[in-house]
Amino acid sequence: MPIPFATDSRIVMTLDAGGTGLKFSAVRGNRPLIDSLTLPTEAGDLERCLGNIVRGFEQVQRALPEAPVAVSFAFPGPADYPNGIIGDLGNLPAFRGGVALGPMLEEKFGIPVFINNDGDLFVYGEAIAGFLPYVNGLLEQAGSPKRYRNLFGITLGTGFGGGIARDGELFVGDNSISGEAWLLRNKLTPGLNAEEGACIRAVRGAYAQCAGIPVDHAPESKAIFDIGMGQAAGDRAAAIEAFRRLGEVAGDAMAQALTLVDGLGVVGGGISGAHPLFLPALVDAVNGVYDSGQRRLCARAYNIEDASQREQFVKGETRQVRVPGSSRTIAYDPLARTAIGISRLGTSEAVAIGAYAFALRNL
């Protein structure tokens, strides 16, 4: 029986852990209960990193109106999440060799502790209270009988993350490494993985190449977006092309995933705010064709942020067909389709809600 997360009164302390910052919160009823707290990660010093994690949760706990029932949080990259052991992560070198972080926190706070990949929890949060219910709400308002239950998502930022939610459950995988979108093939440079074409450094590198400048002279991704939107001085054509390439690589990776998942697609992460420059290319890549003329995906993808595409997606192609040998007709919509759009919660809130829902699901 589904858990009514939105009305559940239990409190879960959450954390979105990154290579530079630890963002703490607490969630009840699918909503953040307190203002978030951020502490430095101290990624190269295990003692200081663990100290900040404990200190952050202690501060959150003191701000709560009642005792939390669990700690649930996100870490970047593969780990032994069911056992709460963080292993060798590229952006957190202090955890080399394996650190039993979950058991340590269980002993410290006396409550269950759950850890998952940040991309997974982002997608789970969007499936519980963000993009997936948003799209189903559009369909309901339009009187369409179609509903979606599956969601694949990506996060675009320092790296390229991903996750899968299936029929109300987070799909974790047998080794806790499902949805590792960063390791899909890079469409533009097939000898590399997709992350090398779909992250902040990829945008800066593409801008530098197109503008004819050294990479270390390239602006930060936010500045490149401003240039591309005509809001700052710089090489506008290079900025537009840099984000178009990101969209093409990310879209091809999403097409690979949606071929297997058959659901909606959501985009989050630190540079998702630049979607006016990359989302059209991303959706075009999902709708691409092979050299043979075969469509890249069985379903047609629609950019839900575009008003006309949103209208087409919601409308579908519903018509009545006659039941053979009978005067009865039945509704039939032959248009297999998916919607792709931007996080409705914001990445950090989606991670927190995903962590909250995962904890309640497992208690």
**pLDDT of 103-128, one tens digit each?**
999 999 999 999 999 999 999 999 99
Q: Residue 15's pLDDT is what?
A: 94
Ordered by where they begin, the domains of the chain are: 5-116 (3.30.420.40), 131-344 (3.30.420.40)
User: Per-residue pLDDT averaged across 64-91, rounded?
Assistant: 89
Q: What is the pLDDT of residue 2?
A: 64
Confidence of residue 93 (pLDDT cuts 50, 70, 90): confident
pLDDT at 202: 98
* List of E strands, the chain: 12-17, 21-28, 31-32, 37-40, 70-75, 113-117, 150-156, 160-166, 169-170, 264-268, 300-303, 319-322, 329-332, 337-342
User: Mean pLDDT throughout 68-74?
Assistant: 96
Give bridge partners of residue 3 from the DSSP assignment. Answer: none
**Which tens digit of pLDDT belongs to each residue from 274-323?**
999 999 999 999 999 999 999 999 999 999 999 999 999 999 998 899 99
Q: Could you tell me the two tokens for 147?
A: 């509903």
Is the four-CA dihedral 317, 318, 319, 323 of positive or negative sign?
A: positive
CB 49 within 8 A of CB 66: no
Taking the whole predicted model, whether its pTM rises above 0.85 is answered as yes
Q: Which helix (H) or strand (E) is 119 found in, with range?
A: helix 118-129
Determine the pLDDT at residue 200: 96
The per-residue pLDDT for 318 is 87
Condensed to tens digits (0 to 9), the pLDDT of residues 186-229 reads 999 999 999 999 999 999 999 999 999 999 999 999 999 999 99
Residue 89 bridge partners (DSSP): 92
Lowest mean pLDDT among 22-26, 90-94, 185-189, 292-296: 90-94
Instruction: Tell me the chain's radius of gyration from C-alpha atoms.
Output: 22
User: Residue 91 above 80 pLDDT?
Assistant: no
Instruction: Compute the distance between CA of residue 286 and CA of residue 281 in angstroms, rounded to an integer.
Output: 9
Say if residues 303 and 283 touch (Cβ distance below 8 Å).
yes
- Asked if residue 271 has pLDDT above 90, the reply is yes
Residue 69 has pLDDT above 60, yes or no: yes
Q: What pLDDT does residue 145 have?
A: 86
- What pLDDT does residue 1 have? 53
The 3-class SS string of 21-68 reads EEEEEEEECCEECCCCEEEECCCCCHHHHHHHHHHHHHHHHHCCCCCC
Distance CA 317, CA 347 (A): 33
Tell me the backbone φ, ψ of residue 338, rounded to 5 degrees: -140, 155
Residues 291 and 329: their CA atoms lie apart, in Å, by 40
Look over the chain and give the mean of its residue pLDDT values, rounded to a whole number. 95
Check residue 113 and give its pLDDT: 97
For the chain, the distance separating the N- and C-terminal CA atoms, rounded to the nearest angstrom, is 14
Does 328 have pLDDT greater than 80?
Answer: yes
Contact, 123 vs 266, CB < 8 A? yes
Residues shown for the chain:
363
According to the model, what pLDDT value does residue 29 have? 94
| pLDDT tens readout for residues 224-258 | 999 999 999 999 999 999 999 999 999 999 999 99
Q: Which two tokens stand for residue 40?
A: 């430095």
Mean pLDDT (whole number) for 56-85? 93
